Amino acid sequence: MGEKELDFIHEAFASNYIAPVGPQIEAFEQEFAETVGAKYAVAVSSGTAALHLLLRYAGVGSGDLVFCSTFTFVGSANPILYQGGRPIFIDSDYSSWNMDPALLVSALDRHAAQKCLPKAVILVHLYGQPADIDPIQVACNKHGVFLIEDAAEALGAEYKGKSPGTFGLAGFFSFNGNKIITTSGGGMIVSDDETLIKKVKFWATQAKDNASYYQHSEMGYNYRMSNVLAAIGRGQLRVLSDRVQKKREIFERYYEKLSSLPGISFMPEPGFAHSTRWLTCLTVDPIKAGVDRDTVLNELEKNNIEARPTWKPMHMQPLFRRYGGHRTVAERLFANGICLPSGTNMNEEDIKRVVKVIYSCWGT
């Protein structure tokens, strides 16, 4: 947190707008839309809530198919179950670690031939890295399938000069405590479709009809962001570019020091993408390295350094086991992947300490 966040919080307190209404929310939505290049935005309580609203807008109901990236956090898939849908998980490619466009195109064509197209495709932009959006968007448009972009981890990134989250009919972002900017908790829906924005905002505010008394003709949710959290978000937006620069500098320092080690490969950055490097991620090939991923994680833990495996793919989760199948690339990225400490408050000595422990695993 910085000084500007506190200034906006004082404004919220002075206005006495604390609950989920008020000028800070309206300003945050407008400023956020301008930041990512969207026409409209709606601030909600979480990224998961945002996706839930968008799946409902897409008409997902009991038994409906939804295609989703498998290599992601569970929040990208849980709302499919909220709506009674059936997820089909699409594997990653090695060039971006995101949804493989060729597999998505093939799956859509195959399901179109069988007359069982999904209601939506959830395209995740992983670890601050945009997916290859163009071929996926073309395929969704061809078949009339709602493209939802999960840009929860990718605020500040660019795909061919534009923000991920602004290509499909709608996208969403997260402001959870671990994201590149945070409101402590919260999310944002963006779209150029005014009808969509009005509808999800209506549902997120308990679907209260336009009447002088409390009347409800549709089911709604308590999904709006509070005015105080929006005030924090406004302050955080002002340091977004600094955060991206810092994240990329941290990645570069790790890359300089570790990329020469046998068996280490960093998450690539394709030519179409400008990643935020929200997390610096790498894989350890146990054959080439002589050590495996877990050996490195355990050694870091012994030295009180928190690192984590990459996401366990959704198709491997007990929750989604009944949807089955193998997704080879995602499974390998999970088996060998590590997310290194990447907080923007890290200094050079912190990075050297992490690097020293990793080097010790190679006996150097």
Question: Could you list the active site residues?
Answer: 179
Helix (H, G, I), strand (E, B) or coil at 212: coil
Residues constituting the chain: 364
10 Å CB burial of residue 287 (0-12, 13-18, 19+) is: exposed
Amino acid code (one letter) for 240: L
CB burial readout 183-193, b (16+ within 10 A) else e: bebbbbbbbee
Q: Could you give the C-alpha distances from 241 to 18, 93, 191, in angstroms and in order?
A: 28, 28, 22
Residue 228 near residue 16 (C-beta atoms within 8 A): no
Sheet containing strand 308-309, edge to edge, reads 264-266, 281-284, 337-339, 308-309
Residue 344 near residue 246 (C-beta atoms within 8 A): yes
Residue 19 near residue 253 (C-beta atoms within 8 A): no
For residue 335, give every residue at least 6 positions away whose Cβ sits within 8 Å of its Cβ, in sequence order, or none. Answer: 293
